[in-house]
Amino acid sequence: MKVLVMGSTGGSGRAAVAHLLAQGHEVTAFTRQARSFQRADRLRVLCGDAMNASHVESAIAGHQAVVVALGISENPLRVRLFGPAHTPIDVRSVGTRHVITAMRKHGLRRLVVQTSFGIGPTRGRLALADRMFFELILKPQIADTEEQERAVRESDRDWVIVQPVHLTDAAEASPPFVSSAGETGAMKVSRTSVGRVLAEAATNPACVRQSLAVSGPVGQSGRRPAPAHLAASSHAGIGQPCPNR
């Protein structure tokens, strides 16, 4: 399968590229920093700007699926106080709308978009501390992510939304807990795990039209474990069906 990854130099996007390549797919990494990738079989690195509609349209032609992992990698407090230094604050929504428009033009259907747990239907599941962090520190970025999700849900593509909890750079010790019902395990998850789910969602038709909450393995955080039947059915590892609850 030929997959385009937007936002491929971020932690989750880079992990998605690695997982897709490991599965034998042909991957195009769309980035503003082409030098950040080493040469690899079946990997094409394409330099471009997600805010430029013509760049996005040129990149999408010839692919079968698109993974969007756009975001702002700068310190969130600095972004809140002074605005982002290198990436537009609306990169998520604008870049994703460019992708959807180009997908329609070229007839692509499979779209996977990483947003954040606490957006849309999972908003009411946020703990008080996270709600305060969203409001005080992340408010402009969360508003743009809400716009991004709205564009995806209103599109006519075969979309999958991936909503990770707090991201870490830790190694993946165990497979993540994935739920289409908004249930969570531990409230921290590695970017490697998120990349695994992004890759699975791009290639597994069982994931289509689902919003997947991605968290750490159940029982690692002191949180009440999910019921046994939910933990079993919600795990979406490579080669396993996406959850359906």
User: pTM to 2 decimals?
Assistant: 0.90
Please list the alpha-helical segments (H only) found in the chain.
11-22, 53-60, 76-82, 91-106, 128-136, 139-154, 191-203, 228-234
Q: How far apart are CA 64 and CA 108, in angstroms?
A: 6
Residue whose C-alpha is closest to residue 125's, from 190, 189, 213: 213
| Residue found by looking up tokens 């982002």 in the block | 84
Among the residue ranges 82-96, 128-142, 222-236, the one predicted with the least confidence is 222-236
Confidence of residue 218 (pLDDT cuts 50, 70, 90): confident
Dig out the tokens for 178 from the structure.
């994935």
CATH topology of domain 2-234: Rossmann fold (3.40.50)
Q: How far apart are CA 221 and CA 171, in angstroms?
A: 16
Residue ranges of the domains in the chain? 2-234
Range 35-64 average pLDDT? 93
Of residues 37 and 29, more confidence is placed in: 29
The string of pLDDT tens digits covering residues 63-72 is 999 999 999 9
Of residues 35 and 123, more confidence is placed in: 123
Among the residue ranges 89-103, 138-152, 186-200, 215-229, the one predicted with the least confidence is 215-229
pLDDT of residue 173: 84
Confidence of residue 54 (pLDDT cuts 50, 70, 90): very high
3-state helix, strand, coil in the chain (%, to 5): 40, 20, 40
